[in-house]
Structure 1
Amino acid sequence: MPSRLGRYAVRRRIGSGGFATVWLAYDEQLDSPVAVKVLADNWTEDAAVRQRFLEEGRFLRKVESPYVVTVYDAGELDDGRPYLVMSYADQGTLADRLEVEGLTPAQAMEVVRQVGAGLQALHERGVLHRDVKPANVLFRTVEDAEEGTVRAMVADLGLGKALDMSSRLTMIAGTPSFVAPEQAQGEPLDPRADQYSLAALAYLLLAGRAPYAHASLAAAAAPSSPPPLSSPERPFPAEVEAVVRRGLAADRAERWPDVASFVAALEDALAPVVVDDAASSWLPVDPDLTQPGARPSARPSHDSLPAPVPPRRGRARLLAGGLVGVLAVAVGLGVGFWVEQRGEGDETVGDDTGTLFVTVPDDWARAVAADGWTAPLDGGEFPALSVGTTADWTDVRSSAQGVFVGILPGTELPAQMPRHPECDTAQEPVDSSFEDRDSRTVLYTGCPGGVTVERVVQLAANRLLWVQIRSADSATANTVLDAVDTRGI
C-alpha cells in the first residue's frame, strides 16, 4: 500500500477493476476524504488505455451534478501512472445494499430518480454511460434536509463514450443482464441505451430480481420478453409494469424519448403504491458500510501497513474448464495477481485468492485480471482469472489470445454449451471424466484469430469450473487447457 498518491495521504484500498485501483485517501489541505483512482502499472505504456482512463475524468468533469461522481483533481505519479481524485462514497454501492436487504418501492423509486438525474445530466453534456448497474451506483452521506442523508451518484465511466464517438464506433462491452440489445450487438448508440439499463435496474429494485439472467453479451443481443414484474410477494399495478416494459423494449424506437420521461412516468405509476411510504423513501445511513475513519498522518507507521501475503506454491493438476461469451465485463483488471516464471517462454499466473492457476505463453500475460468475478445467474462473487495478450481479448471480433478461468455454483454440467457465432464450425461436445470429475469440452474453429475452446468441469458437488481459451492454434489451446490448476477445492 502506498503511503501517498501525489499530495494525498492513503488510508486503504477500496477496490480494483477496469484497469485501475481505487484508494481511500485524505486531502490534508482541505481535511476531507477522497477516492483516488490510479491506472494499473501494466497499462501505463498503452496509449489507448491511458487515453480511455483520462477520458473518464474529462467526461465526469464536464458534468456538474450532485448525482454524478465529481472529479476534483488529476495528476501523474512519479512512475508515470495517471490518477483521478474523486468524491468518496462513504456509504458503499447499491450492490452492497442489495446484498444485505432489498429496498421498499419508495426507496427504489428514489434511487431510480437520482440515478436517472445523473444519467440525464451526462446525456445533456453529450456523454453515454453504457454500464449502468448496481455496482456503479454509489452512495455518499450528505447534509440535505430536502434529500435525506444518503445520496446516489452515478460512477465509473470506464465504458463511457462521447455521443459523437458512439454514433460512429461502438465497442461491444457492458454487463449482460443490464445492457441494451443494440449495445450487445455493437450498433451505434444513443441515450436510449442507458435508459434500457436504468429500466433493468428499476425492474431489479422493484421485483427483487433482474429482468434477465444473461450469461453473455451474445444472449443479451437477442432478448426475449422479461417475466412479469409483479409477483404475489411484490404486487404492482399494471401501469408500473407497462412503464418498465416500455423502457426495456428491444426496439429502441419503442422506448421512452429520454431518461427523464421514463423516470417521470415511473414516478406517476408508482404514486399509489408509495403514497403511504413517502416518509421512508430516503435510504438510512448504514454505519457498517465503508467509513473514512480517523484522519491519517502524512507518514503512516510500518505497523499500520497490511502484511504481505506470500504466494502459494505447489500445483494440483486438473483438466478443467470453459466460460461463456465475452468475459471482460465480469472481471475487473486487478494488480494483485501472482506470476511465476515456469521456464523459457512460459509463465504461471495465479488469482489473488490462491485458488486458480494457469500456465500460459509469456506473451499472453500482458493483461491480467485476478480479483474475481460476479458469477452469472447466481450473482455471487467467486474466484476468477483472466490472462490475455490484450485487455479486449474476449471481444468476439478480436484476434488476440487469452484464457479465462472462473468458479461458479452448480450441481451439474450445463445441458447446452456457449455458442460462438463468430466462428465457422463447432465440433460435437466431448464428455469425459478425470479423477472422478466429469467435464464437457467444445472446440470451435474458424474463429477470428484461430480457435476457441469451452470446457466446464464438475469441480465439487456444488461448484463448477469454467474455462474459455482463444488461441491461434489447437496445439497451444490444448497446452493451456491442460495447465489449468486449482487449490483448496
Structure 2
Amino acid sequence: MNVISLFPPPGTTIDGWSVVRELGNGGFAVVYLVEKHGLRCALKLARHRDSSGDDKQTHARTLRELSALLLLDHPNIVKHRGYGYSEQGNVYLALEYVDGWTLAEWAERKHPTVQEVLHVFDKISAALSYMHGRGVLHRDLKLSNVLIRKSDGEPVIIDFSCASYSLAEELTDWGLPPGTDRFRAPEQFTWLREHKAEQRAKYAFQVADEIFAVGAMLYELLTDPRPTEVQARVTLNSTVMKPPPARALNVRVPEALNDLVDCILSREPARRPVDTEALRRELGELLAYSSAEYLSPVHPPSEQRPLEPPDQVMPEVANPRLPVSPTRSGRERWGLAAGLAALIALTVAGSFLLSRGEPTESGAQTVVGVSRPQIPPHSAPLTSTAPAMSPPSPPPMTLTGLATAVPKEGSTVKTPPSPESPLQGRPSRGRTKAAAAADCATMTLVAALAAGCPSAQIRPEAFTCPAGAEEVMQEDLRWKVNQSFALTLDARHETDAYVWFTAGAEVMGVVPKGVPSAQRAVAPPGTRFYGKAYFLSDRMGRSEGPALVIRYDRVKLPGQDERPVCFVVESPSKGYEDGRVKAYNLGGGYVVDRWP
C-alpha cells in the first residue's frame, strides 16, 4: 500500500528526520513537525510515490510546490529547507516551521486594531507583489494559509500545494484550478457556467483572482469577530450581487477602508487594483491615518471571547420522541424581525435597480446601518436542479433504521435542463413564465425576492466536487459512491428535534453515537461534516413544502484535519417561512462523485 501512515509514533524517522508530531493532513500530503541536528522543520510528505499509479499526481504536485518555492525568498513567504524521499519512496519537502496563529486565530486572540490589520495586509501584499513578479501564483489564499508568527507578529504565507508558476505543467483535471470556493473570484463561477460543456477547457487564473482572495480575507476579519467558528456567513463571490459593505456589518470599519474593500471585491476585475503593488500602495495610504478609528480594535474584545463549542459526540439515540416545534426567546424574535427588515430594505433597492435594468453592483453599495447579526446569509451563484427526494415526513427512527432509509447503490440525483438568461438589463414586461422561472433559478435569495420570484427558492448549484475530494473519499476514507451515513444535520441544534434551516446558510453536521458498525468503521461518532443548506420549492410529489437539501463539501474525522468530500443530504420539510425550511435534524445522506 502506497499511502503513508497518518500517525507514525514520535521518534519515527523519515530520511533521517525524527517525527515529533503531526501538524496536519490533506488529500495530497501529510505534514509533520520533525527534527534533525537540532533544527525543527515542517516536513510535507506526499501520499503517493511517483510509480504508484497516482492518477491525482500528488508526487508531481509536491515537486511543483518545491519548484515554486525555489523561485522565492521573501521574509513573509515560508522558506524551503530541502527535499528528499522517504524510505518508501515518497517525496517530501522540508519547510520552515512557523510557530504562529492563523489569521483567524490571531484576530480572535490579539484583538488587533484597524491599523494593525492594515499593517499585516500591507506585508501580505508586498509578499504577493514579490511572488507575482517571479511568475508565481499562490491560488489558495485564505485565512488558514497565512500564519502570524508569535515571536515577532510577522505574517507568513504558507501552503503552496495549489501554486503555479510560468511554464508549469497543468495538473488539474477539471476546469477550475485547485483552491477554496469561498475565496474564489466570481468570474471563475461565471466562466465555469459558460464552459461547463467543454471537457478540456481550463480557467486561466489571473492576478485579479489573487487580489479578490486578499479582499475576501480582509472582509472576513473586518466583519466577523469570530472567524474561526463555523457559522452562517454572507457569500462573497455571488455573480449576481456583491456582499453588503463591510461598514454596514461593522460600524468600526473606517469609511476609506470600507471603500477599498468594496473596490477589491468588485464583480468586475477591471475595477480592482491593477496588481498587488497597486493594492499595497492603497493600503499604505490608509496606514498613514492615525485617527481614533484606526487605532481602535476592529471588534470589541468582549465579542471575541470564545463560546462553548458544540458537543463533539452526540448522545446515543434509540427511539426519539416526536419533538415540539422550537420556540424563540424575545431576543431571537427581535433578531429575526431586524433581519427581515434588512432583507426587505435590500429587496426594495434591488427591485428598483432591476426594474430600471441597472447593474446590481452599484445597488449593493446603498445598504447602510445594518449590524452584523441582522444580515441574512446570501447564497452562492446557483443553478436549477431537482434532486430525487427521500420519503415524505419521516417518523422518528433509530439510527440503525435511518441508515437504510437513504438512497441505495445505483440511486441518482437527477438534474432537469434549465435555460440560463442574463439578469441585468432585462425588461420586466412581456416575458414568459418559463423565462421568469429560469431567471429566478439562477438568482440569490435577495435578488430573487427583489425580482418578484415565487417562493424565492434556493437550489444547490450543479458543480463538480472540490479538488481532491474523489481521491480523499476513495483512497483515504474508503468511501464508496452512494454509500449512506446517518448524522445530525446541524450540530448546533438538538438532534431529536425539528429545526429551521436558512437557505444559503452554512451548517455543521456530526455523526452521533449509536450508528451501525459498518458506518463506524469509516465515519465514526464525532465525525463532522461542513456544508451549506439549500431548499427546493418543488413538491416533487412527495412533500407539502420546500424540500431541504444539504451539500457537505468538507469532513473532519476525530483527531484529523478537514478534507474535501462530496456528501449530500435530502430531507422533506415540515414547514417553510421567510426563506427558511423546517426539517428533522436527524437524517441520512450519501456519498456522490459530483454535485447533481
* TM-score normalised by the chain length of structure 2: 0.50
User: 1:379 offset after TM fit, Å?
Assistant: 7.6
Q: Does residue 155 of the first structure (1) align with residue 155 of the second (2)?
A: no
Change (3 A) 1:333 1:36: farther
> Match of 1:92, SS?
strand
Q: Deviations over 1:238-290 (max 9, x none)?
A: 32222112211222122111112113213423543666866999xxxxxxxxx
Rate the CA distance shift 1:379–1:8 in 2: closer, same or farther, 3 A: farther
1:34 aligns to 2:41 (yes or no): yes
Instruction: Choose the corresponding residue for 1:258, options 275, 289, 299.
Output: 275
What's 1:19 paired with? 28
Deviation at 1:177, TM superposition (A): 2.1
Q: Using a 3 Å threshold, how does the CA distance of structure 1 residues 320 and 272 change in structure 2: closer, same or farther?
A: farther
Is the 8 Å Cα contact of residues 181 and 223 (structure 1) preserved in structure 2?
no
Deviations 1:458-481 (A, max 9, x none): 898557765462489xxxx9xxxx
Deviation (angstroms), 1:431: 4.3
Residue aligned with 1:122, SS: helix
Q: Report the alpha carbon displacement of residue 130 of structure 1 after superposing the two structures with TM.
A: 1.1
Instruction: Report how far residue 137 of structure 1 moved.
Output: 0.8
Confirm whether residue 269 of structure 1 aligns to residue 355 of structure 2.
Answer: no
Query: What amino acid is aligned across from residue 456 of structure 1 in structure 2?
Result: E
Measured against aligned partners, the alpha-carbon deviations of 1:164-204 in whole angstroms (never above 9, x if no partner) come to 55999963442222111233435322212101110111111
Greater share of strand: 1
Asked if 2 retains the 8 angstrom alpha-carbon contact of 1:244 and 1:266, the reply is no
2 CA distance for matches of 1:381 and 1:96?
A: 22
1:177 lines up with 2:182 in the alignment: yes
Distance in 1 between residues matched to 2:28 and 2:124, nearest whole Å: 24
Change (3 A) 1:416 1:106: farther
> Would the aligned equivalents of 2:487 and 2:588 in 1 still touch at CA under 8 Å?
no
> Deviation at 1:155?
1.3
Per-residue CA deviation, residues 181-232 of structure 1 (Å, 9 max, x unaligned), is 233435322212101110111111122278x9577xxx94625212011147
Q: Aligned partners of 2:260 and 2:487: how far apart in 1? A: 44
Give the Cα–Cα distance (whole angstroms) in 2 for the partners of residues 131 and 70 of structure 1.
17
Please name the residue that 2:53 is paired with: 45
Would the aligned equivalents of 1:243 and 1:262 in 2 still touch at CA under 8 Å? no
Superposition deviation, residue 162 in structure 1? 1.6
Q: Identify the residue that residue 435 of structure 2 maps to in structure 1.
A: none
Equivalent residue number for residue 133 of structure 1: 142
Return closer, same or farther for 1:77/1:453 CA change in 2, 3 Å cut-off. Answer: closer
The answer for unaligned runs of 5 or more in structure 1 is 143-148, 282-313, 341-345, 357-375, 384-404, 418-426, 443-451, 478-489
Match of residue 60 from structure 1:
69
Change (3 A) 1:98 1:238: closer
Paired position in structure 1 for 2:210: 194
* Change over 3 Å in CA distance of 1:196–1:271 after alignment to 2: same
- 1:162 maps to a residue whose letter is Y
Task: Give, in whole Å, the separation in 1 of the partners of 2:481 and 2:258.
Answer: 52
**2:534 paired residue among 403, 410, 414:** 414
Rounded to whole Å, the distance in 1 between the matches of 2:240 and 2:111 is 26
* Alignment size in residue pairs: 359
| d(CA) in 2 for partners of 1:72, 1:155 | 14
Change (3 A) 1:166 1:104: farther
Q: Which of 319, 335, 338 in structure 1 is aligned with 2:405?
A: 319
Larger mean Cα displacement after TM superposition, 12-21 or 458-467: 458-467
Residues of 2 paired with 1:41 and 1:261: CA distance?
Answer: 41
Identify the structure with the greater helix proportion: 2
Structure 2's unaligned 5+ residue stretches are 1-6, 193-202, 299-398, 408-412, 414-459, 489-503, 512-526, 551-565, 573-581
Structure 2 CA distance, aligned partners of 1:166 and 1:254?
30
Alpha-carbon distance, 1:40 to partner: 1.5
- Work out whether residues 123 and 155 of structure 2, in 8 Å CA contact, stay in contact via their aligned partners in 1: yes
Q: Are the structure 2 counterparts of residues 471 and 250 from structure 1 closer, same or farther at C-alpha, using a change threshold of 3 Å? A: closer
Instruction: Mark the CA change 1:62 to 1:188 in structure 2 (over 3 Å): closer, same or farther.
Output: same
- 1:368 alignment counterpart: none
